[in-house]
Structure 1
Amino acid sequence: MTKKAAIAAIALLMTTSSLSYAAETSSTGGVGQLSATDMKSLTDMRVGIIKAALQLTPDQEKLWPAVEDAIRARAKNRQARLERIAELHDGAMDPLHQSNPVELMQRRADRLIQRGADLKKLADAWEPLYKTLSEDQKKRMSFASYVVMRGMSDVIEHSIEPEDDDD
Structure 2
Amino acid sequence: MLKVVVAGTTALFVIASPIANAQNLQTSSSASPERLNAADRNNLTDMRIDLVKAALQLTPEQEKLWPSVESAIRARAEDRKARVAKIQETVGRRADESRVEALRNRDPIAFLQRRSEALAQRSADLDKLAEAWQPLYKTLNPEQRQRMAAIAIFVLRDMSDVVERRRATQSDDDDD
Residues 52 and 29 (structure 1), Cα distance of their counterparts in 2 relative to 1, 3 Å cut? farther
AA aligned opposite 2:39? T
Which of 130, 142, 154 is the aligned partner of 2:137? 130
Tell me by how many angstroms 1:30 deviates. Answer: 7.5
2:44 maps to 42
AA aligned opposite 1:75? A
Residues 42 and 159 (structure 1), Cα distance of their counterparts in 2 relative to 1, 3 Å cut? farther
AA aligned opposite 2:11? A
Which of 79, 82, 106 is the aligned partner of 1:80? 82
- Bigger radius of gyration: 2
**Alpha-carbon separation, structure 2, partners of 1:44 and 1:126:** 17
Q: TM-score, normalised by structure 1?
A: 0.82
1:28-69 deviation per Cα after TM superposition (whole angstroms, max 9, x unaligned): 768883333333233222211211111111110000000011
Residues 39 and 159 (structure 1), Cα distance of their counterparts in 2 relative to 1, 3 Å cut? farther
1:17 maps to 17
Where does structure 1 differ by over 6 angstroms across 4 or more consecutive aligned residues? 159-162
**Alpha-carbon separation, structure 2, partners of 1:104 and 1:53:** 40
Which protein is richer in helix relative to its size? 2
Tell me by how many angstroms 1:111 deviates. Answer: 0.3
Q: What secondary structure is seen at the aligned counterpart in 1 of 2:104?
A: coil
Stretch moving more, 21-30 or 151-160:
151-160
Q: CA RMSD in A?
A: 2.8
The unaligned stretches of length 5 or more in structure 1 are: 163-167
Are the aligned partners of 1:32 and 1:159 in contact in 2 as well (CA < 8 Å)? no
The unaligned stretches of length 5 or more in structure 2 are: 171-176
Give the % identical residues.
46
2:6 maps to 6
Q: TM-score, normalised by structure 2?
A: 0.78
Residues 108 and 97 (structure 1), Cα distance of their counterparts in 2 relative to 1, 3 Å cut? same
1:2-46 deviation per Cα after TM superposition (whole angstroms, max 9, x unaligned): 423422221221222111222222447688833333332332222
Larger relative contact order, structure 1 or 2 (CA cutoff 8 Å, min sep 6): 1
**Alpha-carbon separation, structure 2, partners of 1:63 and 1:30:** 42
Q: How many residues align?
A: 162
**Alpha-carbon separation, structure 1, partners of 2:82 and 2:57:** 31
Q: What secondary structure is seen at the aligned counterpart in 2 of 1:91?
A: helix
